[in-house]
Structure 1
Amino acid sequence: MTDKFIFRFVAAVTVFVITVVVVLNRHLIPGPEVAPAFTPYLPMLNAVLNGTCTILLLTSLYYIKQGNIAVHKRLNIITFCLSSTFLVSYILFHYLMRHDTLYGDANFDGVLSPAERENVGGMRTLYLSILVPHIILAAGVLPLILLSFYRGLQMQVAKHRKLVRWTFPIWLFVTVTGVIVYLMIKPYYNF
């Protein structure tokens, strides 16, 4: 496979995933009339997957600094698979939850009364200050992860290292803030 093919493939996957997420978050595709019973558990699953990925990323960093490429590679494959599972679960949740179902949102709209929203002011600001960079960086890190993963599997060490200098801290930030965002919005879920 040529680099040109890989770049096109990564661009296509990235555009597809971002489009699906935007379409589902805007509720442009109607979900089922009644969400399956497991649906309310998906946000918690997503937080667990993000937390696990955080631990695996840090452990992977430890092993590569120790020169243990085999363990580093295995941990990154597991992390990649768990992140992919997270993405499927995230998309599934947003498809299954109908737009007229209150399950919490970034603005706390519809979840709290106006009086309650006034009391949340500082918390809402903090929540949004974490959520906005989380969303932007989650979208931006996808092509970096895919390219870093490819370079690593191909043992293109120099190219892998250059990419990972950016990929690792962004991916780590996204996994950590994913858990924080979940913990902050969880009290406002209305399942």
Structure 2
Amino acid sequence: MDSYHSLAPLNAFLNGCATVLLLAGFIFIKNGMVRAHRACMIAAMGFSAVFLTSYLVYHYNVGNVRFSGEGWVRSLYFSILIPHVILAGVIVPLAIATIVFAFRGKFRRHRRIARWTWPLWMYVSVTGVIVYLMCYQLYTPIYSLPPTAVAQSASR
């Protein structure tokens, strides 16, 4: 389990990189720099795909991680986490559809859906870093038994 703990800061780093690329891509397209926009958005998608893979590997091996903060900060944490989790599920098909429309040259559809995709994706990326900082850096995370450990202890 210890070897997987380094994936948590890596996940925050990958989210941070996606955030910077999304912002740069937005600025580029607003300034008519289509090639730079395309490069940033493809890179953001790549960073997000690597993030998702790393996130799933991390939580499969480490299990559930609970927030240890108490009082008003606990309410703040969950007010950030809950929409983050919901929108993280929504953004995957939305981002894929947005990039597929662009690759197929359907720019009218691409622009229409990107108006929703970009702010939601930015929210998910930014709040992913905030959740990491709150759960792992500002407070001590509480680890539960990972699914693999549960399965191993049950077979003994």
| TM-score, with length taken from structure 1 | 0.70
Q: Higher relative contact order at CA 8 Å, sep ≥6: structure 1 or structure 2?
A: 2
User: What 5-or-longer segments of structure 2 have no aligned partner?
Assistant: 144-156
Residue 150 (structure 1) shift = 0.3
Question: What is aligned with 1:171?
Answer: 121
CA contact (8 A) 1:36 1:96 kept: no
Matches within 5 A, 1:89-128: 89-98=54-63, 104-106=65-67, 108=68, 120-128=70-78
Post-superposition CA distance 1:22-66 (Å, at most 9, x none): xxxxxxxxxxxxx252x1111111111111111100100111111
What is the letter of the counterpart of residue 166 of structure 1? Answer: W
Paired residue secondary structure (1:67)? coil
Equivalent residue for 1:65, pick from 23, 30, 49: 30
Residue 92 (structure 1) shift = 0.2
**Inter-partner Cα distance in structure 2 for 1:133 and 1:98:** 21
Question: What is aligned with 2:149?
Answer: none
Question: What is aligned with 1:52?
Answer: 17
Paired residue secondary structure (1:188)? coil
What is the letter of the counterpart of residue 118 of structure 2? Answer: F
* Identical columns (%): 38
Q: How many residue pairs were aligned?
A: 141
Measured on the aligned residues, the alpha-carbon RMSD in Å equals 1.5
**Inter-partner Cα distance in structure 2 for 1:68 and 1:154:** 19
Residue 154 (structure 1) shift = 1.5
What is the letter of the counterpart of residue 73 of structure 2? Answer: M
CA contact (8 A) 2:66 2:142 kept: no
Residue 68 (structure 1) shift = 1.1
**Inter-partner Cα distance in structure 1 for 2:93 and 2:71:** 35
